[in-house]
Structure 1
Protein backbone atom coordinates (compact mmCIF):
# COMPACT_ATOMS: atom_id res chain seq x y z
CA UNK A 1 0.00 0.00 0.00
CA UNK A 2 1.16 3.56 -0.65
CA UNK A 3 2.19 5.79 2.22
CA UNK A 4 -0.90 6.71 4.21
CA UNK A 5 -2.50 10.11 3.64
CA UNK A 6 -5.09 9.82 6.41
CA UNK A 7 -4.55 8.82 10.00
CA UNK A 8 -7.47 7.24 11.84
CA UNK A 9 -7.13 7.35 15.61
CA UNK A 10 -9.55 5.97 18.16
CA UNK A 11 -9.48 6.14 21.92
CA UNK A 12 -10.43 2.50 22.46
CA UNK A 13 -10.88 -0.71 20.51
CA UNK A 14 -14.59 -0.45 21.34
CA UNK A 15 -14.67 2.45 18.84
CA UNK A 16 -13.49 0.23 15.98
CA UNK A 17 -16.92 -0.85 14.68
CA UNK A 18 -17.79 2.84 14.14
CA UNK A 19 -14.37 4.01 12.94
CA UNK A 20 -14.19 1.23 10.37
CA UNK A 21 -16.69 3.30 8.37
CA UNK A 22 -13.99 5.92 7.73
CA UNK A 23 -11.52 3.28 6.56
CA UNK A 24 -14.11 1.67 4.29
CA UNK A 25 -14.94 4.93 2.51
CA UNK A 26 -11.25 5.83 2.15
CA UNK A 27 -10.72 2.42 0.55
CA UNK A 28 -13.57 3.17 -1.84
CA UNK A 29 -11.80 6.37 -2.92
CA UNK A 30 -8.41 4.64 -3.12
CA UNK A 31 -6.87 6.76 -0.37
CA UNK A 32 -4.24 5.00 1.78
CA UNK A 33 -4.78 5.24 5.53
CA UNK A 34 -3.37 4.03 8.81
CA UNK A 35 -5.23 3.26 12.03
CA UNK A 36 -4.13 3.27 15.65
CA UNK A 37 -5.63 3.13 19.14
CA UNK A 38 -4.38 5.92 21.39
CA UNK A 39 -6.12 7.58 24.29
CA UNK A 40 -5.73 11.26 25.09
CA UNK A 41 -6.05 10.38 28.77
CA UNK A 42 -4.64 6.87 29.16
CA UNK A 43 -1.75 7.31 26.68
CA UNK A 44 -1.23 11.08 26.45
CA UNK A 45 2.42 10.93 25.36
CA UNK A 46 1.71 8.42 22.60
CA UNK A 47 -1.18 10.60 21.37
CA UNK A 48 0.89 13.79 21.40
CA UNK A 49 3.84 12.13 19.65
CA UNK A 50 1.57 10.69 16.96
CA UNK A 51 0.01 14.11 16.34
CA UNK A 52 3.37 15.94 16.28
CA UNK A 53 4.94 13.47 13.83
CA UNK A 54 1.94 13.00 11.50
CA UNK A 55 2.67 15.82 9.04
CA UNK A 56 6.35 14.85 8.78
CA UNK A 57 5.31 11.31 7.88
CA UNK A 58 3.16 12.58 4.99
CA UNK A 59 -0.32 12.49 6.47
CA UNK A 60 -2.69 15.13 5.09
CA UNK A 61 -5.52 14.83 7.64
CA UNK A 62 -6.33 12.98 10.86
CA UNK A 63 -9.69 11.51 11.84
CA UNK A 64 -10.08 11.02 15.60
CA UNK A 65 -12.96 9.19 17.25
CA UNK A 66 -13.69 8.86 20.95
CA UNK A 67 -16.63 8.34 23.25
CA UNK A 68 -17.71 9.80 26.57
CA UNK A 69 -16.23 13.25 27.16
CA UNK A 70 -12.81 12.24 25.81
CA UNK A 71 -10.88 15.04 24.14
CA UNK A 72 -8.94 12.93 21.64
CA UNK A 73 -9.60 15.08 18.56
CA UNK A 74 -8.88 18.29 20.45
CA UNK A 75 -5.65 17.00 21.95
CA UNK A 76 -4.49 15.86 18.53
CA UNK A 77 -5.47 19.22 16.99
CA UNK A 78 -3.42 20.96 19.67
CA UNK A 79 -0.29 19.07 18.59
CA UNK A 80 -0.50 19.16 14.77
CA UNK A 81 -0.85 21.68 11.96
CA UNK A 82 -2.96 19.17 10.02
CA UNK A 83 -6.75 19.36 9.75
CA UNK A 84 -8.43 17.13 12.33
CA UNK A 85 -11.89 15.63 11.94
CA UNK A 86 -13.58 14.53 15.15
CA UNK A 87 -16.02 11.64 15.36
CA UNK A 88 -18.01 11.63 18.60
CA UNK A 89 -18.77 8.02 19.52
CA UNK A 90 -22.02 7.02 21.18
CA UNK A 91 -21.26 5.52 24.58
CA UNK A 92 -22.15 5.78 28.22
CA UNK A 93 -25.15 7.29 29.90
CA UNK A 94 -25.31 10.28 27.53
CA UNK A 95 -25.23 8.21 24.31
CA UNK A 96 -22.56 10.36 22.68
CA UNK A 97 -23.90 13.82 23.49
CA UNK A 98 -20.98 14.35 25.87
CA UNK A 99 -18.55 13.24 23.16
CA UNK A 100 -20.22 15.61 20.69
CA UNK A 101 -19.85 18.58 23.03
CA UNK A 102 -16.25 17.67 23.88
CA UNK A 103 -15.40 17.47 20.19
CA UNK A 104 -17.28 20.44 18.79
CA UNK A 105 -16.64 23.00 21.57
CA UNK A 106 -13.01 23.83 20.83
CA UNK A 107 -11.30 27.07 21.86
CA UNK A 108 -10.30 29.64 19.23
CA UNK A 109 -7.16 28.65 17.37
CA UNK A 110 -7.62 24.88 17.76
CA UNK A 111 -10.33 23.93 15.25
CA UNK A 112 -11.74 20.43 14.94
CA UNK A 113 -14.15 19.68 12.12
CA UNK A 114 -16.84 17.59 13.76
CA UNK A 115 -19.22 15.11 12.15
CA UNK A 116 -22.34 13.53 13.63
CA UNK A 117 -22.29 11.08 16.50
CA UNK A 118 -20.97 7.81 15.00
CA UNK A 119 -20.44 9.67 11.70
CA UNK A 120 -17.14 8.02 10.74
CA UNK A 121 -18.29 7.45 7.16
CA UNK A 122 -18.83 11.21 6.74
CA UNK A 123 -15.45 11.80 8.37
CA UNK A 124 -13.92 9.58 5.68
CA UNK A 125 -15.72 11.52 2.95
CA UNK A 126 -14.59 14.85 4.42
CA UNK A 127 -11.01 13.57 4.67
CA UNK A 128 -11.21 12.50 1.02
CA UNK A 129 -12.45 15.96 0.07
CA UNK A 130 -9.52 17.55 1.92
CA UNK A 131 -7.07 15.20 0.19
CA UNK A 132 -8.72 15.93 -3.17
CA UNK A 133 -7.65 19.59 -3.00
CA UNK A 134 -4.31 18.52 -4.43
CA UNK A 135 -5.33 15.32 -6.19
CA UNK A 136 -7.74 15.64 -9.13
CA UNK A 137 -8.07 11.85 -9.42
CA UNK A 138 -9.56 11.74 -5.92
CA UNK A 139 -11.87 14.66 -6.72
CA UNK A 140 -13.20 12.74 -9.74
CA UNK A 141 -13.97 9.74 -7.51
CA UNK A 142 -15.86 12.00 -5.09
CA UNK A 143 -17.88 13.48 -7.95
CA UNK A 144 -18.73 9.98 -9.19
CA UNK A 145 -19.70 8.91 -5.65
CA UNK A 146 -22.09 11.83 -5.28
CA UNK A 147 -23.58 11.19 -8.72
CA UNK A 148 -24.16 7.57 -7.72
CA UNK A 149 -26.00 8.71 -4.57
CA UNK A 150 -28.19 10.99 -6.68
CA UNK A 151 -29.05 8.13 -9.05
CA UNK A 152 -29.92 5.87 -6.12
CA UNK A 153 -32.32 8.46 -4.68
CA UNK A 154 -33.95 8.93 -8.09
CA UNK A 155 -34.31 5.16 -8.53
CA UNK A 156 -35.88 4.76 -5.09
CA UNK A 157 -38.32 7.59 -5.70
CA UNK A 158 -39.37 6.12 -9.05
CA UNK A 159 -39.88 2.71 -7.45
CA UNK A 160 -41.96 4.24 -4.64
CA UNK A 161 -44.15 5.98 -7.22
CA UNK A 162 -44.53 2.72 -9.14
CA UNK A 163 -45.25 0.41 -6.20
CA UNK A 164 -46.91 2.66 -3.62
CA UNK A 165 -46.04 2.82 0.05
CA UNK A 166 -47.10 -0.65 1.23
CA UNK A 167 -45.54 -2.62 -1.61
CA UNK A 168 -42.37 -0.53 -1.44
CA UNK A 169 -42.02 -1.23 2.28
CA UNK A 170 -42.56 -4.94 1.67
CA UNK A 171 -39.91 -4.92 -1.08
CA UNK A 172 -37.31 -3.32 1.19
CA UNK A 173 -38.21 -5.46 4.17
CA UNK A 174 -40.13 -2.80 6.06
CA UNK A 175 -37.05 -0.74 6.88
CA UNK A 176 -36.08 2.74 5.83
CA UNK A 177 -34.39 3.04 2.47
Structure 2
Protein backbone atom coordinates (compact mmCIF):
# COMPACT_ATOMS: atom_id res chain seq x y z
CA UNK A 1 0.00 0.00 0.00
CA UNK A 2 1.27 3.45 -0.91
CA UNK A 3 2.15 5.94 1.80
CA UNK A 4 -0.64 8.53 2.19
CA UNK A 5 -0.06 11.97 0.68
CA UNK A 6 -3.23 13.61 2.01
CA UNK A 7 -4.60 13.59 5.52
CA UNK A 8 -8.37 13.91 5.92
CA UNK A 9 -9.26 15.00 9.45
CA UNK A 10 -12.70 15.67 10.88
CA UNK A 11 -13.81 16.87 14.25
CA UNK A 12 -16.61 14.32 14.64
CA UNK A 13 -17.94 11.18 13.04
CA UNK A 14 -21.03 13.21 12.08
CA UNK A 15 -18.76 14.98 9.54
CA UNK A 16 -17.94 11.72 7.74
CA UNK A 17 -20.78 11.78 5.18
CA UNK A 18 -19.50 15.15 3.91
CA UNK A 19 -15.79 14.39 4.21
CA UNK A 20 -16.19 11.17 2.27
CA UNK A 21 -16.38 13.40 -0.82
CA UNK A 22 -12.70 14.29 -0.41
CA UNK A 23 -11.71 10.62 -0.13
CA UNK A 24 -13.79 9.69 -3.17
CA UNK A 25 -12.16 12.33 -5.38
CA UNK A 26 -8.66 11.45 -4.15
CA UNK A 27 -9.40 7.83 -5.04
CA UNK A 28 -10.44 8.97 -8.51
CA UNK A 29 -7.06 10.66 -8.94
CA UNK A 30 -5.17 7.70 -7.46
CA UNK A 31 -3.83 9.72 -4.53
CA UNK A 32 -3.35 7.75 -1.31
CA UNK A 33 -4.92 9.27 1.80
CA UNK A 34 -5.53 8.62 5.47
CA UNK A 35 -8.50 9.60 7.59
CA UNK A 36 -9.08 10.24 11.29
CA UNK A 37 -11.38 11.91 13.78
CA UNK A 38 -9.64 14.42 16.01
CA UNK A 39 -11.34 17.34 17.68
CA UNK A 40 -9.48 20.60 18.22
CA UNK A 41 -11.50 21.07 21.41
CA UNK A 42 -12.09 17.58 22.78
CA UNK A 43 -8.72 16.08 21.79
CA UNK A 44 -6.35 19.05 21.44
CA UNK A 45 -3.15 17.10 22.12
CA UNK A 46 -4.02 14.43 19.56
CA UNK A 47 -4.85 17.11 16.99
CA UNK A 48 -1.67 19.13 17.50
CA UNK A 49 0.51 16.00 17.57
CA UNK A 50 -1.01 14.80 14.29
CA UNK A 51 -0.38 18.19 12.68
CA UNK A 52 3.22 18.44 13.96
CA UNK A 53 4.14 14.97 12.67
CA UNK A 54 2.28 15.08 9.34
CA UNK A 55 5.13 16.42 7.20
CA UNK A 56 7.74 14.02 8.58
CA UNK A 57 5.34 11.14 7.88
CA UNK A 58 5.21 12.17 4.21
CA UNK A 59 1.89 13.97 3.93
CA UNK A 60 1.75 16.80 1.39
CA UNK A 61 -1.64 18.33 2.28
CA UNK A 62 -4.18 18.15 5.10
CA UNK A 63 -7.92 18.54 4.60
CA UNK A 64 -9.74 19.43 7.83
CA UNK A 65 -13.51 19.47 8.12
CA UNK A 66 -15.58 20.54 11.10
CA UNK A 67 -18.88 22.13 12.00
CA UNK A 68 -19.82 24.52 14.77
CA UNK A 69 -16.97 26.71 15.95
CA UNK A 70 -14.73 24.74 13.56
CA UNK A 71 -11.28 25.69 14.76
CA UNK A 72 -9.90 22.35 13.56
CA UNK A 73 -8.32 23.61 10.33
CA UNK A 74 -6.76 26.59 12.10
CA UNK A 75 -5.33 24.52 14.93
CA UNK A 76 -3.83 22.11 12.42
CA UNK A 77 -2.45 24.98 10.31
CA UNK A 78 -0.85 26.46 13.41
CA UNK A 79 1.12 23.26 13.99
CA UNK A 80 2.24 22.25 10.48
CA UNK A 81 4.18 23.73 7.55
CA UNK A 82 1.88 21.85 5.14
CA UNK A 83 -0.97 23.44 3.21
CA UNK A 84 -4.27 23.03 5.04
CA UNK A 85 -7.65 23.04 3.32
CA UNK A 86 -10.62 23.76 5.56
CA UNK A 87 -14.07 22.34 4.91
CA UNK A 88 -16.72 24.11 6.98
CA UNK A 89 -19.54 21.67 7.70
CA UNK A 90 -23.14 22.93 7.66
CA UNK A 91 -24.58 21.97 11.04
CA UNK A 92 -26.09 23.33 14.22
CA UNK A 93 -28.25 26.33 14.92
CA UNK A 94 -26.38 28.56 12.45
CA UNK A 95 -26.38 25.91 9.69
CA UNK A 96 -22.65 26.25 9.06
CA UNK A 97 -22.21 30.02 9.02
CA UNK A 98 -20.21 29.76 12.26
CA UNK A 99 -18.04 27.02 10.74
CA UNK A 100 -17.46 29.11 7.62
CA UNK A 101 -16.42 32.19 9.58
CA UNK A 102 -14.19 30.21 11.94
CA UNK A 103 -12.45 28.47 9.04
CA UNK A 104 -11.96 31.45 6.75
CA UNK A 105 -11.03 34.11 9.35
CA UNK A 106 -7.47 33.10 10.18
CA UNK A 107 -4.83 35.45 11.58
CA UNK A 108 -1.81 36.49 9.49
CA UNK A 109 0.76 33.71 9.27
CA UNK A 110 -1.74 30.86 9.68
CA UNK A 111 -3.26 30.41 6.22
CA UNK A 112 -6.11 27.98 5.62
CA UNK A 113 -7.48 27.54 2.12
CA UNK A 114 -11.24 27.33 2.63
CA UNK A 115 -13.78 25.71 0.34
CA UNK A 116 -17.57 26.10 0.40
CA UNK A 117 -19.83 24.74 3.10
CA UNK A 118 -19.77 20.94 2.75
CA UNK A 119 -17.26 21.39 -0.10
CA UNK A 120 -15.17 18.28 0.62
CA UNK A 121 -15.16 17.26 -3.04
CA UNK A 122 -13.57 20.60 -3.98
CA UNK A 123 -11.12 20.16 -1.10
CA UNK A 124 -10.11 16.84 -2.64
CA UNK A 125 -9.66 18.45 -6.05
CA UNK A 126 -7.59 21.28 -4.55
CA UNK A 127 -5.45 18.75 -2.67
CA UNK A 128 -4.90 16.88 -5.95
CA UNK A 129 -3.86 20.14 -7.64
CA UNK A 130 -1.38 20.83 -4.84
CA UNK A 131 0.04 17.30 -5.08
CA UNK A 132 0.19 17.66 -8.89
CA UNK A 133 2.76 20.44 -8.59
CA UNK A 134 5.39 17.75 -8.03
CA UNK A 135 3.74 14.82 -9.80
CA UNK A 136 3.07 15.22 -13.54
CA UNK A 137 1.00 12.01 -13.62
CA UNK A 138 -1.42 13.52 -11.10
CA UNK A 139 -1.48 16.78 -13.07
CA UNK A 140 -2.49 14.81 -16.18
CA UNK A 141 -5.39 13.28 -14.23
CA UNK A 142 -6.50 16.71 -13.01
CA UNK A 143 -6.40 18.03 -16.58
CA UNK A 144 -8.40 15.03 -17.83
CA UNK A 145 -10.95 15.52 -15.04
CA UNK A 146 -11.49 19.17 -15.98
CA UNK A 147 -11.73 18.29 -19.67
CA UNK A 148 -14.38 15.68 -18.80
CA UNK A 149 -16.38 18.29 -16.89
CA UNK A 150 -16.20 20.67 -19.86
CA UNK A 151 -17.45 17.89 -22.19
CA UNK A 152 -20.35 17.16 -19.85
CA UNK A 153 -21.39 20.82 -19.88
CA UNK A 154 -21.26 20.88 -23.67
CA UNK A 155 -23.31 17.68 -23.90
CA UNK A 156 -25.96 19.15 -21.59
CA UNK A 157 -26.08 22.36 -23.59
CA UNK A 158 -26.50 20.47 -26.85
CA UNK A 159 -29.26 18.35 -25.31
CA UNK A 160 -31.02 21.48 -24.03
CA UNK A 161 -30.91 22.99 -27.52
CA UNK A 162 -32.36 19.80 -29.00
CA UNK A 163 -35.14 19.25 -26.43
CA UNK A 164 -36.00 22.77 -25.27
CA UNK A 165 -36.57 23.67 -21.64
CA UNK A 166 -39.64 21.51 -20.95
CA UNK A 167 -38.28 18.51 -22.84
CA UNK A 168 -34.96 18.76 -21.04
CA UNK A 169 -36.57 19.04 -17.61
CA UNK A 170 -39.00 16.20 -18.36
CA UNK A 171 -36.08 14.01 -19.50
CA UNK A 172 -34.35 14.76 -16.17
CA UNK A 173 -37.50 13.71 -14.34
CA UNK A 174 -38.89 17.03 -13.24
CA UNK A 175 -40.64 20.00 -14.79
CA UNK A 176 -41.71 23.22 -13.13
CA UNK A 177 -44.70 23.62 -15.45
Aligned equivalents of 2:118 and 2:70: distance in 1?
Answer: 14
The yes-or-no answer on 1:151 pairing with 2:151 is yes
- Distance (whole Å) between structure 1 residues aligned to residue 121 and residue 139 of structure 2: 17
In 2, are the aligned partners of 1:129 and 1:142 still within 8 Å (CA)? yes
Matches within 5 A, 1:2-81: 2-81=2-81
Q: After TM superposition, give the deviation of residue 70 of structure 1 in Å.
A: 2.1
Could you list the runs of 5+ residues in structure 2 that have no partner in the other structure? none
Counterparts of 1:174 and 1:122 in 2: how far apart (Å)?
27
The TM-score, its normalising length taken from structure 1, stands at 0.98
* RMSD over aligned Cα atoms: 0.7
1:138 aligned onto 2:138: yes
Structure 1, residues 40-63: CA drift from partner, whole Å, max 9, x if none?
Answer: 000000000000000000000000
Give the alignment's TM-score, normalised by structure 2: 0.98
In structure 1, stretches of 5+ residues that fail to align are none
Task: State the alpha-carbon separation in 2 of the partners of residues 12 and 109 from structure 1.
Answer: 27
Matches within 5 A, 1:124-135: 124-135=124-135
Q: What is the match of residue 121 of structure 1?
A: 121
Q: Structure 1: which 4+ aligned runs deviate by more than 2 Å?
A: none
The reply on whether 1:98 has 2:98 as its aligned counterpart is yes
